Structures are given as structure tokens and as C-alpha cells.
């Protein structure tokens, strides 16, 4: 979107109030979008904005018009402008009303867009702003007990299949750890360990994760990986090694062996076991010529020493493609014909 230059902005600031009012009248005279933006964004009270949004949503919901692939982008842009953005604007002033309306729109989304070709993905921008309006309306109610807010959220996320744990990562700061911890407990009570563990990672609840690990409730390799990372960040690399060794004992064919080796080597380095770390780097690189093992080796090895020859030899023995890729990664272009 084009903006005014510094000179134009300075000129605008020098224009008198009466002249500016006349300019605004001229601009909106034959421009409905400009008029709507002015009225809805600056001249209506929060209650009037809410009423206008409700009216526009009801009007759109009654429409039988079909929006094909090419019309959908403009359709969702208009919804964003006339419904979603105004709702965000009043979320703090009328939190309960904004909460109720945004939830209604999200839960009715499939029905509401039944006559729209959504394959372009343009709906996601509109939907994301509705979600933002909902979250901001909840933020405005945070003086209530965390359990009260958490129950509101959980009631909705149970019914809305577009939501995943990632939304809590995005809104962690806005909602706060106390609310997310209650939601985590609700997932756990509902016997949904995947979601409970995901939320525990987001709020960095090592006590819960330790309990889940000891109870053998980790159900995906990422749970081990994320838990090990948090332990290392908490300066508990010895515990991280124990977690990774336990994972290896339970599952010799780990799906992402590169990440496992990377974390294991990092933990060895943090523990000061640098010779073991270097040996593990060589072993891991032999099986998978991933440049991160070379960088970890240089971190554990002697400073001001070129460690690349050994890794270049391994890569060359593995094949031409790994050799070229590795040489390129470490910027040894002189070795590539």
C-alpha cells in the first residue's frame, strides 16, 4: 500500500482543520469503501461497531451467491475489512460481546462458507483475524480466575477442528502461563496426552514432563527431543542424556536419527565430555553426511585447527553427491570441479 512521503506528510500537518474536513468529504463522496472505513473505524462507538458487524454477518450468511476460485480472495478481503478487523478493534472495549460473536463466526465457518470455493487458502487470513479477536477479548477478561477463562477456551477448542496446540504457542504471552496450565490439565484429564504434552512444552513445565516421562507417556519422538532441549536449557544435560538413552533403548529405529544424534552430542559437550562428543560426531557423520555434525565437532575440538579433512574424506568415501554438498556447505568451493 502506497504511503505519503515525508514532504507530503509535513504538508498535510500544516492544513487547517476545516480544510481537512472538506478534503475528507471529497474523498468519501464517491468511494463507499473509504466512507465505510472512516465511519466504522473512527466515527462509531464500540456498541455501534458491534451492531454493524452483526448486521453485516447476518446479511452475508443469508446470501446464496456462489463465489468461485477467482472471486474468493475478494470475498474474504471484504469479510476481513467489514467484519474481522472491526471485531478486533472492539475486543478490549466489549470483551464478552466480541468473544461471543467471534466464537459464533468460527464455529459456523464451514456452514457460512458453504457456497465459497476455499481452495485458494485466502480464507485463512480472515479466520486468523477472527481468532485474534477472540483471544484479545479473552485477554481483556484476565482479571477473572484462570480456570474460568481456561474453561471458556477449552469448550471451544474441543468443538473446532481448525485449532491445534500451535495456537497456544502463538498466544502464550497474551493468555499467560496460568491459563495454559489449566487447559493442559483439562487435556490430561480428558486422556489426551499428545495435547497435554504439547502444552507442557509451550509453558516449559519440566515437572509435568518429568512425571509424564517417568510414566512412559511420551508418544512421539518430538516429545523426547523437546524435553531434552528444555533440560539442557535448564542446565541439566546429564538428565537430557538419560532421556535420549532411554529413547534409544525403547526405539532403536528412531524416525529422525539426525536430531537424536545432534541433541546427544550437544548434551555430551555441555557435560564436558568432549572426546566422546567428537567420536560420536564422526560416527554420526559416517552414517549421514550432515554438516551439523562437523560444526558440533569443531565446537568440541581444539580451536584454530582445521577439522575438515577428516570429514571431507568420509564424505568423499560415501559418494560424489555427499562430498559436493558437504564441501559446498563449508564453503570449500575450491574442491568442487
Backbone angles phi, psi at 185, to 5 degrees: -65, -35
pLDDT, tens digit (0-9, with 9 covering 90-100), for 248-283:
887 666 668 899 999 999 999 999 999 999 999 999
**pLDDT score, position 254:** 66
Residues with Cβ < 8 Å from 175, sequence gap 6 or more? 135, 138, 139, 142, 149, 153, 168
Residue 140: in which H helix or E strand, if any?
Answer: none
Q: Give how far Cα 281 sits from Cα of 61, 170, 217, 229, 300, Å.
A: 60, 35, 30, 18, 10
**pLDDT score, position 336:** 76
- In which band, very low, low, confident or very high, does the pLDDT at 1 lie, cut at 50, 70 and 90? very low
**pLDDT score, position 337:** 62
CB atoms closer than 10 angstroms to residue 113: 19
Q: How large is the average pLDDT for residues 294-310?
A: 92
Give the three-class secondary structure for 255.
coil
User: Which residue in 232, 219, 222, 305 sits closest to 265, CA to CA?
Assistant: 232
For residues 146 and 177, is the Cβ–Cβ distance under 8 A?
A: no
User: What is the C-alpha to C-alpha distance for residues 234 and 236, in angstroms, rounded to an integer?
Assistant: 5
CB atoms closer than 10 angstroms to residue 131: 21
DSSP letter assigned to residue 116 = B
pLDDT, tens digit (0-9, with 9 covering 90-100), for 119-137:
999 999 999 999 999 999 9
User: What is the C-alpha to C-alpha distance for residues 294 and 308, in angstroms, rounded to an integer?
Assistant: 8
Residue 335's Cα: distance from chain center in Å? 40
Amino acid at each position: 500500500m502506497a504511503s505519503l512521503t515525508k514532504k507530503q506528510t509535513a504538508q498535510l500537518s500544516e492544513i487547517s482543520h476545516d480544510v481537512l474536513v472538506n478534503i475528507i468529504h471529497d474523498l468519501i463522496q464517491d468511494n463507499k469503501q473509504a466512507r465505510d472505513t472512516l465511519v466504522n473505524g473512527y466515527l462509531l462507538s464500540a456498541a455501534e461497531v458491534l451492531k454493524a458487524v452483526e448486521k453485516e454477518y447476518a446479511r452475508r450468511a443469508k446470501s446464496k451467491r456462489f463465489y468461485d476460485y477467482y472471486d474468493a480472495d475478494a470475498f474474504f478481503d471484504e469479510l476481513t475489512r467489514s467484519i474481522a478487523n472491526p471485531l478486533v478493534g472492539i475486543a478490549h472495549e466489549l470483551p464478552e460481546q466480541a468473544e461471543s460473536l467471534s466464537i459464533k463466526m468460527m464455529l459456523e465457518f464451514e456452514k457460512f462458507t458453504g457456497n465459497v470455493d476455499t481452495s485458494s487458502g485466502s480464507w485463512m487470513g480472515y479466520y486468523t483475524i477472527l481468532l485474534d479477536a477472540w483471544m484479545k477479548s479473552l485477554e481483556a477478561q484476565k482479571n477473572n480466575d484462570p480456570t474460568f477463562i481456561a474453561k471458556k477456551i477449552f469448550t471451544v477448542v474441543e468443538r473446532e477442528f481448525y485449532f491445534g496446540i500451535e495456537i497456544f504457542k502463538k498466544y502464550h504471552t497474551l493468555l499467560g502461563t496460568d491459563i495454559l496450565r489449566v487447559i493442559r490439565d483439562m487435556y490430561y484429564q480428558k486422556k489426551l496426552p499428545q495435547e497435554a504434552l504439547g502444552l507442557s512444552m509451550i509453558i516449559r513445565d519440566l515437572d509435568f514432563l518429568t512425571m509424564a516421562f517417568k510414566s512412559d507417556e511420551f508418544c512421539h519422538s518430538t516429545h523426547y527431543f523437546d524435553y531434552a532441549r528444555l533440560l539442557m536449557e535448564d542446565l541439566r544435560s546429564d538428565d537430557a542424556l538419560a532421556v535420549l538413552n532411554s529413547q534409544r533403548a525403547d526405539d532403536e529405529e528412531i524416525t529422525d536419527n539426525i536430531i537424536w544424534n545432534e541433541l546427544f552430542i550437544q548434551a555430551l559437550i555441555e557435560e564436558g565430555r568432549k572426546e566422546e562428543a567428537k567420536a560420536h560426531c564422526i560416527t554420526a557423520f559416517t552414517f549421514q553426511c550432515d554438516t551439523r555434525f562437523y560444526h558440533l565437532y569443531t565446537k568440541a575440538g581444539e580451536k584454530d585447527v582445521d577439522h575438515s579433512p577428516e570429514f571431507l574424506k568420509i564424505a568423499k568415501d560415501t559418494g560424489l553427491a555427499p562430498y559436493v554438498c558437504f564441501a559446498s556447505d563449508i564453503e570449500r568451493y575450491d574442491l568442487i570441479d
